Chain A
Amino acid sequence: MSENERKSGRDDSLDPVVTSVIASRLEGIGRKMGTTIERSARSPLLVEGRDFSVGIYDANGVLIHQTEYIPILGYATAPGVQQVIDAFEGDINEGDVMLHNDVFTGGNQPSDWKVLKPVFVEDELVAWTVINAHQADVGGSVPGSYNPDATEIWQEALRIPPVKLYDGGERRDDVWELIFGNVRLDVVSDDVRAMIGGCTVGERNLHELLERYDVETFHRHKSELLDSTEKMVREGIQEIPDGTYESEVPVVDDGFDHEREMTIAVTIEVAGETMSFDFAGTTDQTPGYVNAPRAVTMSSVMITIFMILEEHIPHNDGILRCVDIDIPSGSMLNPDFPAASAFGNHLSDQICTVIMDALADAVPKRVTAGWNPLLCGLVSGIDPRIDEPYVDLILNGTKGGSGGTYNADGYDHIGLIASGGAIAAQDPEMFEIQDPHFLHHYEFEQDSAGAGRWRGGLGVRTEFEFLADGVEASIFGDGDSTETAAPGLFDGLRGSPNALELEYPDGDTYEPELKELVGGIPKGTTWKQVAGGGGGYGNPLERPVETVAEDVRNGLISPEAAKSEYGVVVTKDGTVNTDQTEQLRRELAPTDLEVVDADS
């Protein structure tokens, strides 16, 4: 044996190469499971929007690998997986398929259904393949589940505690009929079949992997993979200065009281290699659906950590070992049974924002200014062209800009932070082909981006006309005021707020509340929505003059805003008046112009 080897005194049974091989293979398997959903499912939410996440867990429910097609569903899946495993302990057999959505046993949102399949080698349970995916309908009192009038879970969705859809390879028709008899749309059972297919693809590929490396080798190296991830995260956290960091952000409209302002608060303790997040100070649970099951906060915390550590960290349980999360029970981030919570996923906007804001002084170069909070509409009605029901989320209208960050502008038209830019907007032509809608306008909105040394991403104006009569729209979101629009950082300005207006055929207009069901929308009504921009980072007066001028030339910033926010005197075609600009910037610059410490 070599000198090096003796020196390190490593465990001979562990081979880092095998660990890398297994990690690589798991990544490949996750992708194959995801491809199954993307290519074979029915709902546009899954096929176009990719609103799902894929995971491989060990026999005990420890996450070994995750491929999150949408980040918010990623780490929000694990708590439910654990509950399913506990529920069936002693009765888990090859060929079983489990289903779960219940937010009071670990679920994250009633619309997000998990399919789980155990993977056996001979008689030993070795792993689970799991897919968590947003369903087009889940029962409850309104199509698509977003019901601002709901006060309890039963008004939102069919509650599915851990159940077996298949038992030892046989479909349980009684359970199947019970579930799908309580759902409005046929595509849901087809989508669940695609999810089962995806889990089966994962199972087959894990079998191949376990033929190559025996179970014992797999177990040992899986643990090594988690340890190595943990080590990476610990080293990453160590770079964050120790300390206690706090912040709070507002959430407006609880579904009943449209003016009510709630608070999400966090205290972050960084101590050496670990971080803890305490959400004490967050408003108590609300009477309506503006409550987030615990899993949502877990996932949101992970999203911000991945963003802040700026490393390629494998996505498994290793990261969870370095992070503690405390959420007061009975608060809007950990509501008591039987609270409604369908809006909960979307509180991730504010949860991520509050964490970024709290850590801004600790890691100024890694945080981003605020992302545009979601304001979305789920519309449903009868498509007159085929005389059949249709349901769709107006995704293109909801995707505003992300926050600026050190050395990079925010990303234009990206949407909520919890998606990381993974959800695709509808193509304008496909939008008209799939839905009875006629699009009039779909472009970047001038002056929507929060001004900054690095400006926020641009928001988008979407205007379309309903060609169907009597459409119902469930509006859900936030950020429609200058106080709640995406915040800037380090003297960067806020992005523009969200705005939504319905213009009826008779010329009357109506501005819905942030959470509201609007029914009976007549044919010929125009939906006019502006998704706001992201917040700016750093003082706008420090943005290079020529960059501002280019944005003006491209019509993204008006000459007026260039002057008032950036101190740049420029004509519409991008011609800069250098003397006036110099003078104006001098006048506008505060004596204590706060500059981000270049060395922090």
Chain B
Amino acid sequence: MTETIPIDQLVLGIDVGGTYTDFTAYDETADALYEHKTRSTPANPSDAVLTGISELADRFGISRESLLNRTRLIVHGTTIATNAVLTGDGATTGLLTTEGFRDVLEMRRGIRSRENLYNNKYEPPEPLVPRHRRVGVTERVNADGDVVTPLDTDSLETAAEGFDDVDAVAICFMHSYANGEHETQAETFIEETVDDAFVTVSSDVLPEAGHYSRVSTTAMNAYVGPVVERYLNALEERLETNGFSGSLQIMQSNGGIAPPGSVIKRPATTVLSGPAGAPVGANQFAEDLGFDRAVVADMGGTSFDVSLVSDGSVNVTTDGEINRQPVSLPMCDVNTIGAGGGSIAWVDDGGLLRIGPDSAGADPGPACYGRGGEQPTCTDADLLLGYLNPEKFVDGTFDVEAAETAVASVADELGYDLNEAASGIFDIINLSMARAIEDITLSAGYDPREFPLAIGGGAGPIHAAGIAHELDIETIIIPQISPVLAAFGMLTADLRHDYVRGFHDQWADIDAPTIRETIYEMVGEGREALDDEGVAREHQRMQPAIDLRYRGQHHELTIDVPMDEIERGELDRVPDRFDEKHESLYGYAMEGEPLEVLSLRVTAEGIREGVLNDEEITGDVTRTGVRTIRDPVSKDSVEATIYEGATMDPDESIPGPAVIESPSTAIVVPSTFTCESDQRGSFVLNAGGGSNE
């Protein structure tokens, strides 16, 4: 269908997923936003990118070349590195280490798995580089960076002889963060002797102490390097050939964007390129509502991904893992658990009800899909509890009888009736999801009650209120574009630069002007970088922070300090803030104990704006009837008002109990919540008055 839309200047967000490649197109002149999906082409993911662009061009009534010609910027999230790691299909990699340390990568610090303390059949992940391609080289630098043993070139030559068949070489020597000279020499040597190899050294990738983290991250960088490089080079070329002369930016795992040239040097920064889009996108919606923080949850068919936005930016961790392989570069902190619409309910040997992690997936899917599924799933319970309209399945109606038979199997074992069993399934899966949220918020040091819940995915809006109630979360945000939340995130991703300066000193000895000077230095660098990127000063945002701990502790807490306090040199409130945060996280503070400073930080952001449609929203929600549902909060049967539609007027308010049915999902509003819409069409559920402690 051709809509023939006049397009002037476009920005494209493209998120390549496993099944679908999602597009968001933002027309800057008309301030109009479009979404599009096309089937992914895993064998060559750039095919789907080009196909999708053609399809979009068709919608606009222009040629692909013409569309690309008018595209100023493409932000691209890719699963190319993710898949290489998940399928074990990365490069044949060699690793050079200091002699005597070639097994650190595979030793994994001698830890089995917290979840498998008693499981003697647990097998470790295969190392990214097998032992016969890990070779020790004679050389040694100590912790101060002094050369103890000079690099022996003969041993380098011997090592390189074993690298005939490798596509990538990682180099990681002891203490190279303190002195990377030997690594650089080895890099030069390998580049000269091993043809066409992708070479990467640890003092470039992660210049900090901690050999296991550094060697694993460097090995990961090498392992995905050739794959990412080939893909991005080919994509750039295809886009150019097809008329694109704008800027291509790649979504990084940390939620920020960077050009291909820099990503190719550190391809390990893209292992979570896709999932990072969702929190970035959700951030914008949360901000609209005046929140600088949000728990972002995406409930799919088999998994539930949680990430965090705090202080207006996506939470990143340096303790990330992918497929049980550690990556110590900043990446969006995503907690994934096996809970989704397809999760299967079962009764354990002790007679307790459990849900998941097994899922009925898409085939056969939940019993109520009527495609032969017989096991009780979360979606079956949702249907029986009245949250889903039995008459409204994608291609017809739900198979209620199949759902009842399936749920009856666990009900019988528990001595429950159907409704009780379905309620149990619903409550327990909500609890697992609530715990996944708790895990990620608490380990990042936050109280989930202080966050709104931004939810995506088809099943998300059904469960959102139940999860929120469990956590005492009062506000739920359901963005309009939730089906393509990640691709939308790519459109809105800010330019982001993090600066850190080691600043090891006792708090008692610090001097405010020195701190100010160091912070100003970083602010200056941030402004310069953002100026170069064309970000106007009023859109530049600087946030200073100080990493502190009680003397003798191993872990720091990062304490934000308002810029004006830095400017005035008034730092006397910092220790109190530290004590407060410590007390609230760990149950005690040691007021007056000596504090030490570890580092100073500045985050410089270039805020991009205007991506969201400011047009007046016209509500199309209409009341269609009444249905009995189980209220997810009070757990009672209630008569819920049923609505149908995709948008509400901003001044409209729907009190619970209610269900709002849209083509892709159902929003369940408990009696104690009301549903409203914000200026841009996101649904917002608010816990009302007294009932929520």
Q: B100–A40 contact, CB under 8 A?
A: no
A411 on the B face (CB < 8 A) = yes
B416 on the A face (CB < 8 A) = yes
Residues of chain A lying within 8 A (CB to CB) of residue B130: 554
Residues of chain B lying within 8 A (CB to CB) of residue A396: 110
Total number of A-B contacts with CB less than 8 angstroms? 225
Contact pick for A68, options B109, B117, B211, B420, CB 8 Å:
B117
Residues of chain A lying within 8 A (CB to CB) of residue B113: 421
Contact pick for A16, options B120, B122, B132, B352, CB 8 Å:
B352
The answer for the CA separation of A556 and B106 in the assembled complex, in Å, is: 13
Among the 9-residue stretches B82-90, B220-228, B407-415, the one with 4 or more Cβ atoms under 8 Å from chain A is B407-415
| Proximity bits, B412-447, A CB within 8 Å = 1, else 0 | 101111101001100110011001001100110000
Cβ distance A585 to chain B, nearest Cβ, rounded Å: 24
Give the residue among B118, B349, B553 with the most A Cβ atoms within 10 A.
B118
The answer for the CA separation of A306 and B438 in the assembled complex, in Å, is: 27
A2 on the B face (CB < 8 A) = yes
Q: B118–A4 contact, CB under 8 A?
A: no
Q: A429–B431 contact, CB under 8 A?
A: no
The answer for the CA separation of A211 and B693 in the assembled complex, in Å, is: 10
The answer for the CA separation of A228 and B354 in the assembled complex, in Å, is: 13
A506 on the B face (CB < 8 A) = no
Residues of chain B lying within 8 A (CB to CB) of residue A399: 110
The answer for the CA separation of A215 and B114 in the assembled complex, in Å, is: 31
Residues of chain A lying within 8 A (CB to CB) of residue B101: 428, 441-443
Residues of chain A lying within 8 A (CB to CB) of residue B435: 24, 28
Among the 9-residue stretches A197-205, A263-271, A519-527, the one with 4 or more Cβ atoms under 8 Å from chain B is A197-205
Q: B132–A21 contact, CB under 8 A?
A: no
Cβ distance B683 to chain A, nearest Cβ, rounded Å: 27
Residues of chain B lying within 8 A (CB to CB) of residue A193: 588, 590
Contact pick for A194, options B111, B353, B588, B693, CB 8 Å:
B588
A508 on the B face (CB < 8 A) = no
Cβ distance A417 to chain B, nearest Cβ, rounded Å: 9
Residues of chain A lying within 8 A (CB to CB) of residue B550: 190
The answer for the CA separation of A39 and B148 in the assembled complex, in Å, is: 34
Q: B588–A421 contact, CB under 8 A?
A: no
A440 on the B face (CB < 8 A) = yes
Kindly report which residue of chain A lies nearest to residue B472, judged by CB atoms.
A208
Contact pick for B350, options A232, A430, A463, A574, CB 8 Å:
A232
| Proximity bits, A542-564, B CB within 8 Å = 1, else 0 | 00000000000111100000000
| Proximity bits, B341-361, A CB within 8 Å = 1, else 0 | 000000011111110000000
User: Which residues of chain A from 402 to 416 have any CB-CB distance to chain B below 8 Å in the complex?
Assistant: 402-403, 405-409, 411-415
Cβ distance B78 to chain A, nearest Cβ, rounded Å: 32
Residues of chain A lying within 8 A (CB to CB) of residue B586: 36, 39-40, 194, 197-198, 201
Q: B174–A36 contact, CB under 8 A?
A: no
Cβ distance A43 to chain B, nearest Cβ, rounded Å: 9
B142 on the A face (CB < 8 A) = yes
A275 on the B face (CB < 8 A) = no
A511 on the B face (CB < 8 A) = no
Residues of chain B lying within 8 A (CB to CB) of residue A3: 417
B372 on the A face (CB < 8 A) = no
The answer for the CA separation of A547 and B107 in the assembled complex, in Å, is: 19
The answer for the CA separation of A9 and B416 in the assembled complex, in Å, is: 10
Kindly report which residue of chain B lies nearest to residue A445, judged by CB atoms.
B103
Cβ distance B469 to chain A, nearest Cβ, rounded Å: 11
The answer for the CA separation of A228 and B554 in the assembled complex, in Å, is: 40
B630 on the A face (CB < 8 A) = no
A587 on the B face (CB < 8 A) = no
B121 on the A face (CB < 8 A) = yes
Q: How many of B's residues come within 8 Å of A, CB to CB?
A: 73
Q: A440–B552 contact, CB under 8 A?
A: no
User: Which residues of chain B from 608 to 622 have any CB-CB distance to chain A below 8 Å in the complex?
Assistant: none
The answer for the CA separation of A423 and B111 in the assembled complex, in Å, is: 6
Q: A303–B118 contact, CB under 8 A?
A: yes
Residues of chain B lying within 8 A (CB to CB) of residue A583: none
| Proximity bits, A496-515, B CB within 8 Å = 1, else 0 | 00000000000000000000
Q: B110–A415 contact, CB under 8 A?
A: yes
Q: A2–B418 contact, CB under 8 A?
A: yes
A321 on the B face (CB < 8 A) = no
Q: B112–A411 contact, CB under 8 A?
A: yes
B33 on the A face (CB < 8 A) = no
Q: A425–B107 contact, CB under 8 A?
A: yes
The answer for the CA separation of A200 and B122 in the assembled complex, in Å, is: 35
Taking A232-B350, A427-B212, A556-B131 as contacts, is the C-beta distance between A422 and B588 under 8 angstroms?
no
Q: B143–A433 contact, CB under 8 A?
A: yes
A482 on the B face (CB < 8 A) = no
Taking A425-B107, A430-B210, A442-B104 as contacts, is the C-beta distance between A228 and B588 under 8 angstroms?
no
Taking A32-B442, A424-B111, A430-B209 as contacts, is the C-beta distance between A47 and B590 under 8 angstroms?
no
The answer for the CA separation of A183 and B210 in the assembled complex, in Å, is: 31
Residues of chain A lying within 8 A (CB to CB) of residue B432: 24
Contact pick for A421, options B117, B174, B438, B582, CB 8 Å:
B117
Taking A211-B693, A444-B103 as contacts, is the C-beta distance between A196 and B415 under 8 angstroms?
no
A20 on the B face (CB < 8 A) = yes
A1 on the B face (CB < 8 A) = yes
| Proximity bits, A444-474, B CB within 8 Å = 1, else 0 | 1000000000000000100100000000000
Residues of chain A lying within 8 A (CB to CB) of residue B348: 232
A597 on the B face (CB < 8 A) = no
Kindly report which residue of chain B lies nearest to residue A463, judged by CB atoms.
B100
Residues of chain B lying within 8 A (CB to CB) of residue A42: 552-554
Residues of chain A lying within 8 A (CB to CB) of residue B527: none
The answer for the CA separation of A555 and B411 in the assembled complex, in Å, is: 55
Residues of chain A lying within 8 A (CB to CB) of residue B212: 427-428
Q: B100–A443 contact, CB under 8 A?
A: yes
Residues of chain B lying within 8 A (CB to CB) of residue A229: 350
Q: B553–A423 contact, CB under 8 A?
A: no
Q: B427–A35 contact, CB under 8 A?
A: no
Kindly report which residue of chain B lies nearest to residue A68, judged by CB atoms.
B117
User: Which residues of chain B from 428 to 468 have any CB-CB distance to chain A below 8 Å in the complex?
Assistant: 428, 431-432, 435, 438-439, 442-443
Cβ distance B91 to chain A, nearest Cβ, rounded Å: 19
Q: B431–A20 contact, CB under 8 A?
A: yes
The answer for the CA separation of A91 and B77 in the assembled complex, in Å, is: 62
The answer for the CA separation of A48 and B175 in the assembled complex, in Å, is: 20
Residues of chain B lying within 8 A (CB to CB) of residue A200: 587-588
Contact pick for B122, options A47, A186, A411, CB 8 Å:
A411
Cβ distance A53 to chain B, nearest Cβ, rounded Å: 11
Q: B587–A199 contact, CB under 8 A?
A: yes
The answer for the CA separation of A433 and B504 in the assembled complex, in Å, is: 15
Q: A408–B417 contact, CB under 8 A?
A: no
The answer for the CA separation of A440 and B140 in the assembled complex, in Å, is: 9
Contact pick for B112, options A407, A422, A439, A555, CB 8 Å:
A422
Cβ distance A25 to chain B, nearest Cβ, rounded Å: 8
A123 on the B face (CB < 8 A) = no
The answer for the CA separation of A442 and B418 in the assembled complex, in Å, is: 59
Contact pick for A20, options B123, B174, B428, B439, CB 8 Å:
B428
Taking A4-B417, A16-B353 as contacts, is the C-beta distance between A420 and B211 under 8 angstroms?
no
A363 on the B face (CB < 8 A) = no
Smallest CB-CB A-B distances: 10 pairs: A8-B415, A421-B112, A2-B417, A200-B587, A197-B588, A420-B117, A228-B350, A197-B587, A554-B131, A441-B100
Name 27 A/B residue pairs within 8 A (Cβ), A-sorted: A4-B416, A5-B420, A20-B353, A35-B442, A40-B586, A41-B553, A47-B555, A68-B117, A71-B118, A190-B552, A197-B587, A211-B693, A232-B348, A235-B349, A408-B121, A409-B123, A414-B112, A421-B110, A429-B210, A430-B209, A432-B175, A440-B100, A441-B100, A442-B103, A460-B103, A556-B131, A574-B132
Residues of B within 8 A of A (CB): 100-104, 106-107, 109-114, 116-124, 130-132, 142-143, 148, 174-175, 209-213, 348-354, 411-412, 414-418, 420, 423-424, 427-428, 431-432, 435, 438-439, 442-443, 550, 552-555, 582, 585-588, 590, 693
Since A424-B110, A444-B103 are in contact, a sample of 7 more A-B pairs with Cβ atoms closer than 8 Å, ordered by chain A residue number, is A16-B414, A24-B431, A36-B585, A186-B552, A203-B587, A231-B349, A232-B349
